[in-house]
Amino acid sequence: MTLPGVQSERTCLMSGGVMALLSLADEYRFPGIAIPEIDDLLYERYASDMRKWGRRIYYRIRPVIPRPVQIALRRGFTNVQKKGGFPAWPIEPVLVERARECLKSAVRHSSSGCVYRMSTWPDRCRFAFAITHDVETDAGLRFAPRLAEMEREMEYCSAWNIVPERYPIDWDIVHWLQSRGSEIGVHGLNHDGTLFDSRARFSLQVEKINDYARRWGAVGFRSPSMLRNAEWMRELAFEYDSSFPDTDPYEPQPGGCCSIWPYPLHHLIELPLTMPQDHTLFEILQDESIARWKAKCDWIEEHSGLVMLNVHPDYMAKEGRLELYREFLLHMKRKKGMWHPLPRQVARWWRDRHSSTLLRNGNHFEIRGPAASRGNVLRVWLEGEDLREEIVE
């Protein structure tokens, strides 16, 4: 991974977030700071998938298990899942804390008492908020216009991930969504839990998945049930993937990348799913409130991360669900400094800023590269033990 360099006088020029941590790990060896194997977290090399065989058996017999029984089994299993320990849920701070400690140490070791970095987000924004919808059934697709209209009334836009071979796709609905600014992504092939069963099966299915991407003009992918394998996913012909939660013990494949910022995954940009899923909160944990959503997004905002939300239209038709979702969108509406892009716009911005560099120009710093027109230079310093930053005008 090519990262911005370090200029004279130990002034650290960083790209923010987890990229800042990686850059510091490469360029500095600060006393008293242990740099973890970042890739082991981002690509989940720390995790051993102990439930793989049980998951295979479950997906083989799932078609004959009534839906209420499936949900009851998932609910009963939560007592086991929540004992995992690491990564913590719903907030795992390990990468945030490491990045902050490295940034503090960079400031302390700077002769000027400050460091300069490229802004994490464009256009003077402090954090990003992107909305996705995984459409699992025909009923979910038919409910999509109602959900999209509510979002549009509140000036939101979203991405809709469609399963190519599970249900008949009503293209009138899809084209209607696209005509209103929505993005369309590919959600696996048939949502049967077999995509990562074996290398051979994955290669067979991914060929079809990539063909759908070309035919649909889709640039984003999300794996059904958030099943994933970082190494195999290099075969995906997309601009970005969004199959890694930052932390989630309740999915069929537990774990997480621990990152609230995008990062490279081979040729892809990974957009981590950083918010608890609606299905987990409402269906599995039976938590009919948005308290956890509010707490998590507020924490992500504090650390200039990506609030990546996934709401299934398949479950939004239940009484009270739309109002809960509306309440959360209103909560987000009150925030200042928020960038609200489509996921493909997040991925393209992150690729642009990864290809850009912060350079000294006399007594000033400037961004060189594709992020120059929208990025900002930030000056970072310490007040006591607290990091402070401001845009350099």
Of residues 290 and 51, which shows the higher confidence score?
Answer: 290
Query: What pLDDT is stored for residue 72 in this prediction?
Result: 73
In-domain check, residue 345: no
- Mean residue pLDDT of the chain comes to 87
Please determine, for residue 129, whether its predicted confidence score (pLDDT) is greater than 70. yes
- CATH code: domain of residue 178: 3.20.20.370
Q: Quote the CA–CA distance of 253 and 265 in Å, as a whole number.
A: 18
Provide the pLDDT confidence category of residue 7 given band limits of 50, 70 and 90: very low
DSSP string, 129-188: EEEEEEE-SHHHHHHHHHHHHHHHHTT---EEEEPTTTS---HHHHHHHHHTT-EEEE--
Please determine, for residue 144, whether its predicted confidence score (pLDDT) is greater than 80. yes
Please determine, for residue 21, whether its predicted confidence score (pLDDT) is greater than 60. no
In-domain check, residue 325: yes
C-beta separation of 142 from 174 below 8 A: no
Of residues 126 and 31, which shows the higher confidence score?
Answer: 126
Residues near 143 by beta carbon (within 8 Å), at least 6 away in sequence: 313, 314, 316, 317
Six-digit token pair at 248? 């989630």
Mean pLDDT of 12-35: 41
C-beta separation of 85 from 73 below 8 A: no
In-domain check, residue 358: no
Provide the pLDDT confidence category of residue 167 given band limits of 50, 70 and 90: very high
Please determine, for residue 31, whether its predicted confidence score (pLDDT) is greater than 60. no
pLDDT tens by residue, 221-250: 999 999 999 999 999 999 999 999 999 999
Mean pLDDT of 97-118: 89
Query: What pLDDT is stored for residue 351 in this prediction?
Result: 95
Evaluate if pTM is beyond 0.75. yes
Q: Quote the CA–CA distance of 186 and 86 in Å, as a whole number.
A: 30
Provide the pLDDT confidence category of residue 329 given band limits of 50, 70 and 90: very high
pLDDT tens by residue, 290-300: 999 999 999 99
Q: Quote the CA–CA distance of 133 and 131 in Å, as a whole number.
A: 7
In-domain check, residue 288: yes
Please determine, for residue 216, whether its predicted confidence score (pLDDT) is greater than 70. yes
Residues near 366 by beta carbon (within 8 Å), at least 6 away in sequence: 358, 359, 372, 377
Please determine, for residue 200, whether its predicted confidence score (pLDDT) is greater than 90. yes
Mean pLDDT of 278-300: 94
Query: What pLDDT is stored for residue 386 in this prediction?
Result: 94
Query: What pLDDT is stored for residue 78 in this prediction?
Result: 72
Mean pLDDT of 202-223: 98
Please determine, for residue 271, whether its predicted confidence score (pLDDT) is greater than 60. yes
Residues constituting the chain: 393
In-domain check, residue 340: no
Query: What pLDDT is stored for residue 53 in this prediction?
Result: 60
Please determine, for residue 219, whether its predicted confidence score (pLDDT) is greater than 60. yes
pLDDT tens by residue, 75-92: 776 776 676 678 999 999
Query: What pLDDT is stored for residue 30 in this prediction?
Result: 37
Of residues 21 and 270, which shows the higher confidence score?
Answer: 270
Q: Which of 27-31, 212-216, 247-251 has the lowest mean pLDDT?
A: 27-31
Winning range, highest mean pLDDT, from 59-63, 100-104, 357-361, 389-393? 389-393
Going through 173-329 in order, the beta strands assigned E by DSSP cover 183-186, 220-221, 240-241, 263-265, 268-270, 306-310
Query: What pLDDT is stored for residue 77 in this prediction?
Result: 67
Query: What pLDDT is stored for residue 54 in this prediction?
Result: 66
Number of domains in the chain: 1
Domain of 327 in residue numbering reads as 129-302+311-335
31-56 in b/e form (b: 16+ CB < 10 A) is: eeeebeebeebbbbeebeeeeeeebe
Six-digit token pair at 377? 């230079």
